Amino acid sequence: MRNSIKMALVLCVAVVLVIMFLVIFPPGIVAGFFLLYAAYRWGGWIKGSRSTLSVEDSTLFACYNKGLSLANSGRYAEAIGCYDKALEIDPQFAKAWVNKGATLILLKRHQEALQCFDKALAIDPKNEYAQQLKRSMSSASK
């Protein structure tokens, strides 16, 4: 019972503080404070905060995102190189396998693309994009 009273009191104080904060500062400044706080908190810059991404993870996503960007720009061979780098870091990254396969299709390397889709589906059997691309390749080859 005491804990619920304390929680209600804390919640009331928090609401009052937020209302006071919104009254004192214009909305643009409030949004700026929240964005800065989010950057600090999720960026792991405050001592003792929970950092969710390691350096290896950020490199993984950097390679993967660069691959997506290159593929969207029509630079397919370079995109495959980026997906390969991401897969060296984490061979269980199903999205990289799927997008590598999709890019290989654009380069007319269908057998390699099928292998990529099989690897993606072995990791994530419910990956709808891999299933769809694999089905479309199967129906196109008939």
Q: Is 98 inside a domain boundary?
A: yes
Full domain range(s) for residue 30 = 2-43
Each residue's pLDDT tens digit, 3-27: 667 666 666 666 665 565 555 555 5
25-37 pLDDT per residue, tens: 555 554 555 544 4
Tell whether 50 is covered by a domain.
no
Read off the DSSP letter of residue 46: S
Q: Is the pLDDT of residue 46 over 50?
A: no
Residue 114 to residue 105: CA distance in whole angstroms: 9
pTM for the full predicted model: 0.61
What is the C-alpha to C-alpha distance for residues 117 and 98, in angstroms, rounded to an integer? 6
CATH code where residue 93 lies: 1.25.40.10
Check if the beta carbon of residue 96 is closer than 8 Å to that of residue 83: yes
Residue 67 pLDDT more than 60?
yes
Task: Give the tokens for residue 99.
Answer: 């997008």
**HSE-CB of 84 using CA atoms within 13 angstroms:** 8
Total residue count of the chain as it appears in this document = 142
Number of domains observed in the structure of the chain: 2
CA distance 46 to 57: 19
Range 65-70 average pLDDT? 90
| pLDDT confidence band for 87 (50 / 70 / 90) | very high
Lowest mean pLDDT among 24-28, 38-42, 56-60, 83-87: 38-42
Same domain, 70 and 123: yes
Q: How far apart are CA 124 and CA 142, in angstroms?
A: 26
Do residues 111 and 91 share a domain? yes
Residue by residue, what is the 3-state secondary structure of 124-139? CCCCHHHHHHHHHHHH
Would you state the pLDDT for residue 54? 53
DSSP code at position 45: -
DSSP string, 57-82: HHHHHHHHHHHHHHHHTT-HHHHHHH
On the question of pLDDT at 94 being above 90, the answer is yes
